[in-house]
Amino acid sequence: MAKGGLERYAWLSVAVALVTISLKTLAWYYTGSVGLLSDALESLINLAAALLAVSMLRVAAAPPDDEHPHGHFKAEYFSSGIEGALIVLAAAGIVWTALPRLAAPQPIEAPLLGLALSAIASAFNLAAGWHLIRVGRREESIALEADGHHLLADVWTSAGVIVGVALAAATGWNLLDPLVALAVAAHIVWTGFMLVRRSFAGLMDAAIPEAEREEIEKIFAEYRPRYAVDFHALRTRQSGSRRFVSFHLIVPDDWTVERAHALSEEIEARVRSLVPNAILLVHIEPIGQRASYDDIKLERP
Which amino acid is it at 142? I
Provide DSSP, 265-301. Answer: HHHHHHHHHHSTTEEEEEEEEETT-GGGGTT-SSS--
Q: Model pTM?
A: 0.58
Per-residue pLDDT tens over the stretch 153-187:
778 777 777 777 777 777 777 777 778 777 777 87
Q: How far are the Cα atoms of 32, 49, 101, 108, 211 from residue 105, in angstroms, in the given order?
A: 11, 32, 5, 10, 54
CA atoms within 13 A on the CB side of 124: 20
φ, ψ of residue 236 to 5 degrees: the values are -135, 155
Q: Do β-strands 278-286 and 242-251 pair in parallel, antiparallel, or remain unpaired? A: parallel
- Cα gap 228→259, rounded to integer Å: 13
How would you write the pLDDT of the chain (301 residues) with one tens digit per residue?
444 467 777 788 888 888 988 898 888 888 877 767 777 877 777 787 778 777 777 777 777 778 877 677 777 677 667 767 777 777 776 677 667 766 676 666 667 787 888 889 889 989 988 888 888 878 777 677 777 877 887 787 777 777 777 777 777 777 777 787 777 778 777 777 777 777 776 677 778 889 999 999 999 999 999 999 999 999 998 876 678 999 999 999 999 999 999 999 999 999 999 988 889 999 999 998 887 787 766 565 5
What CATH number was assigned to the domain covering residues 210-293?
3.30.70.1350
Question: Which fold would CATH assign to domain 3-203?
Answer: Alpha-lytic protease prodomain-like (1.20.1510)
- Cα gap 63→45, rounded to integer Å: 30
Question: Can you say how many angstroms the Cα of residue 62 is from the centroid of all Cα atoms in its chain?
Answer: 19
Q: Which residues contact 42 (CB under 8 A, 6 or more apart)?
A: 87, 90, 94, 154, 157, 184, 188
278 beta partners: 243
Domain positions in the chain: 3-203, 210-293
φ, ψ of residue 231 to 5 degrees: the values are -140, 145
Are 3-203 and 210-293 in the same CATH fold?
no
For the chain, helix, strand, coil in percent to 5 are 70, 10, 20
